[in-house]
């Protein structure tokens, strides 16, 4: 199986050995396209002769396309660059796969060959039952091939990235607002980059700060994102922040019983991660970043605290369904009982 680099690993290898065969996968399309562009920009002479882009269909001969691309030599240039989109190597049978890998193995040192895959076309996520990773070609890729997975960045990383970008333009943003922006953009760097010029221009005419009201003009906070922020604050044992997000959810007419169910799932996830049982990530279908976040949050709780929190969620759910008590009061009381003891320490 090939070694998989992340975007930082790609940047490090680019400095020392840019030539070779690259396979680009992952959810972060902006970083993926930027990486392909950085490789293409190494061709500084006679670009018309040394840059080629091929787009294949499922019926096209992948082996012939690769052999043809690699047969060309650089024209008065150190490298030749070829990008191939939609090369469905997972459809190749074994003999075709062997020929494909043999062609890659023979790639000259002056060739840069990039296979580019949008996230909705191909995935190498371990828990996705990927057609890619189960294929003959993927498990027999030669040593001169680099596989790079461009993963979505965390909300916290993107919030810091946004603040730095804004500061370079003389514009500020509060940490909470930056985090909110990252979540509203669904942790997609491309969406942040798209709205960044508008945020800067708007803030420069309104006191130099991207406020919540300015953010509302250019982003939309979905109910799912609000629930994510709410359950995240609870998992991090932040009582005041949890209540604040809860009030925002109620203002959006989201019923307490639905939020109770969301918390129930959140605590079940924490309990599973805390147990350390193998296969939890795959069983619960949790992608890499949320799983790492769950691991970090699970360390804040003991198993006894988590079991107690789950019991309180179940009790609150029963009270909401079977009594005439105020659902808001029930859920707020539950939050205080779960989080107040920790916050007194």
Residue 170, Cβ density class (10 Å: 0-12 exposed, 13-18 middle, ≥19 buried): exposed
DSSP state of 134: T
Residues 6+ apart with CB under 8 A from 121: 86
Assess whether pLDDT exceeds 80 at residue 195.
yes
* Residue-level pLDDT at 229: 83
Average of pLDDT values for 321-335? 93
Give CATH 3.40.50.300 domain extents, the chain.
4-149
Q: What CA–CA distance (Å, rounded) separates 60 from 184?
A: 39
| 232-291: pLDDT as tens digits | 899 999 998 899 889 988 988 889 999 999 999 999 989 999 988 777 777 766 766 677
Q: Which of 5-14, 70-79, 284-293 has the highest mean pLDDT?
A: 5-14
Antiparallel, parallel or unpaired: β 145-149 and 20-25:
parallel
Average pLDDT, the chain: 89
Q: Residue 285's pLDDT is what?
A: 66
Q: Domain 223-343: which topology?
A: Zinc Finger, Delta Prime; domain 3 (1.20.272)
pLDDT the model gives residue 343: 52
Average pLDDT over residues 300-327: 94
pLDDT of residue 345: 45
Check residue 3 and give its pLDDT: 81
pLDDT (mean) for 35-54? 90
- CATH code at 4-149: 3.40.50.300
Contacts of 193-200 with C-beta under 8 Å, sequence gap 24+, read 193/30, 195/219, 196/162, 196/165, 196/166, 199/166, 199/171, 200/166, 200/169, 200/171
> Domain 155-218 falls in which CATH fold?
Helicase, Ruva Protein; domain 3 (1.10.8)
Q: pLDDT tens-digit profile of 117-173?
A: 998 888 887 654 578 988 999 999 999 999 999 998 888 889 999 999 999 999 999
> How far apart, in whole angstroms, are the C-alpha atoms of residue 266 and residue 260?
10
pLDDT of residue 79: 92
**56-93 per-residue burial string, b: 16 or more CB within 10 A, e: under 16:** beeeeebbebbbebbeeebeebebbbbbbebbbbbebe
**So what's the pLDDT on residue 306?**
94
All CATH 1.10.8 domain ranges of the chain, comma separated, are 155-218
Q: How far is 199 from 87, CA to CA, in rounded Å?
A: 38
| Average confidence (pLDDT) over 165-184 | 91
């Amino acid at each position: 199986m090939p070694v998989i680099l992340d975007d930082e690993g790609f940047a490090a290898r680019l400095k020392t050995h840019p030539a070779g065969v690259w396979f680009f996968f992952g959810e972060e399309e902006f970083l993926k396209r930027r990486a392909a562009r950085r490789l293409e920009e190494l061709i500084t002479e006679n670009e018309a002769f040394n840059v080629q882009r091929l787009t294949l269909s499922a019926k096209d001969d992948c082996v012939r396309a690769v052999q043809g691309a690699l047969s060309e030599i650089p024209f008065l240039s150190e490298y030749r660059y070829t990008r191939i989109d939609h090369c469905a190597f997972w459809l190749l049978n074994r003999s075709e796969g062997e020929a494909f890998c043999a062609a890659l193995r023979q790639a000259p040192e002056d060739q840069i060959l990039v296979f580019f895959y949008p996230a909705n076309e191909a995935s190498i996520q371990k828990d996705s039952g990927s057609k890619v990773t189960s294929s003959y070609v993927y498990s027999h890729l030669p040593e001169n091939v680099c596989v790079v997975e461009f993963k979505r960045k965390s909300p916290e990383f993107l919030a810091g990235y946004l603040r730095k970008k804004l500061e370079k333009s003389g514009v500020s943003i509060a940490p909470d607002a930056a985090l909110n922006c990252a979540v509203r953009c669904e942790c997609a760097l491309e969406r942040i980059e798209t709205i960044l010029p508008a945020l800067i221009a708007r803030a420069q005419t309104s006191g130099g700060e991207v406020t919540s009201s300015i953010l509302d003009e250019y982003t939309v906070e979905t109910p799912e994102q609000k629930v994510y922020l709410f359950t995240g604050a609870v998992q991090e044992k932040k009582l005041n922040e949890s209540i604040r997000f809860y009030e925002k959810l109620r203002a959006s007419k989201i019923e307490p019983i639905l939020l109770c169910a969301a918390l129930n799932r959140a605590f079940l996830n924490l309990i599973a991660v805390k147990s350390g049982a193998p296969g939890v990530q795959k069983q619960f279908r949790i992608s890499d970043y949320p799983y790492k976040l769950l691991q970090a949050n699970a360390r804040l709780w003991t198993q006894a605290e988590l079991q107690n929190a789950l019991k309180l969620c179940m009790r609150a759910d029963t009270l909401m369904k079977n009594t005439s008590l105020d659902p808001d009061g029930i859920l707020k009381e539950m939050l205080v009982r779960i989080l107040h003891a920790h916050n007194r320490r």
